[in-house]
Structure 1
């Protein structure tokens, strides 16, 4: 009994006995079991959250792809609209130039006709004056005067 190893062994058995008496191994087991269950629940929750995140990722990828398609469609429509507007503007410009050209040609033709009429009128006036002076020199008297005036009036009426 004087051996210290013996007393250490006795103290150890008493300590283990007290531990069992107060239910420490059961509590430790319960705590380990509850901790294991909590860890398993957390793992299940993490797995569920990962699956949800993967679903959300797939949804967002699908939405992104749809948005890219929509953006490409908008760009395509905008290009088509721009081309259409450009062709309409070109057509309007060509029509405007055509109308301006036609208007200018009409004004030129009108100016030519007016110039021709003025030249003709000037030629008629010159011819009338020349024939009046020739006739006045050739025919004399009152009869000649009335004949010249009447003839000149007839010529003016016919030439104009």
Structure 2
């Protein structure tokens, strides 16, 4: 049997492998790899939990956003309704107020017209009485006095009729 370099390489390889097994290097490498695999698994599991939590939080936030949007739309619609009702109410109050003011103005005008007519009548009567007194004081003839009285009385009646209409 010839012992050559290949034989010695094979022997040294077996000794190397035997030393590795004796020093439990493959077992330590296996434990190290298992530990790394376990750490990676734990990180994956934790990241999965975090993803699930983030999804739940996102869903909650989306629900709150949807609810807030719905509530804000409801508030806007209610505000529009309230403003429409307020505008209608203010418009009605304005029209009622203007009708009341118009009615008061018409009443005041009517009262002023009546007061003016009464004053004109009073002044006309006073003028007629003064005319009669003047005629009586200056007149000598009773027939003249009666004629003037009738004439003034007719003029006064005509003037009062014109004023009344």
Band the TM-score falls in, shorter-chain normalisation? 0.7 to 0.9
Q: Distance in 1 between matches of 2:133 and 2:9?
A: 169
- Corresponding position of 2:145: none
The match for 2:155 is: none
Structure 2 distance, partners of 1:108, 1:138, is 43
Paired residues, number? 140
Aligned to 1:98: 99
Alignment-derived partner of residue 67 in structure 1: 68
Superposed CA deviations along residues 100-134 of structure 1, whole A, max 9, x for unmatched, are 11221122112111211111111111111222223
Shift in Å, 1:56: 1.5
**CA offset at residue 139 of structure 1?**
5.7
Calculate the TM-score normalised by the size of structure 2. 0.76
Shift of 1:20: 0.9
User: 1:37, 1:139 → 2: CA distance?
Assistant: 150
Give the 4+ runs in structure 1 shifted more than 4 A: none
| Equivalent position of 2:148 in the other structure | none
Distance (Å, rounded) in 1 between the aligned partners of 2:127 and 2:55: 105
> Is 1:83 aligned with 2:84?
yes
Q: Mapping of 1:1-160 within 5 angstroms?
A: 3-138=4-139
Q: Which residues of structure 2 form unaligned runs of 5+?
A: 142-165
Q: Which moved more, 1:108-117 or 1:8-17?
A: 8-17
**C-alpha distance in structure 2 between counterparts of 1:14 and 1:120, whole Å:** 152
Superposition deviation, residue 99 in structure 1: 2.0
TM-score (norm 1): 0.78
The whole-number CA distance in structure 2 between the counterparts of 1:68 and 1:117 is 72
What SS does the corresponding residue of 1:132 show, helix, strand or coil? helix
Displacement of 1:70 after TM fit?
0.5
Deviation at 1:138? 4.0
Partner of 1:150: none
Unaligned runs of 5+ in 1: 141-160
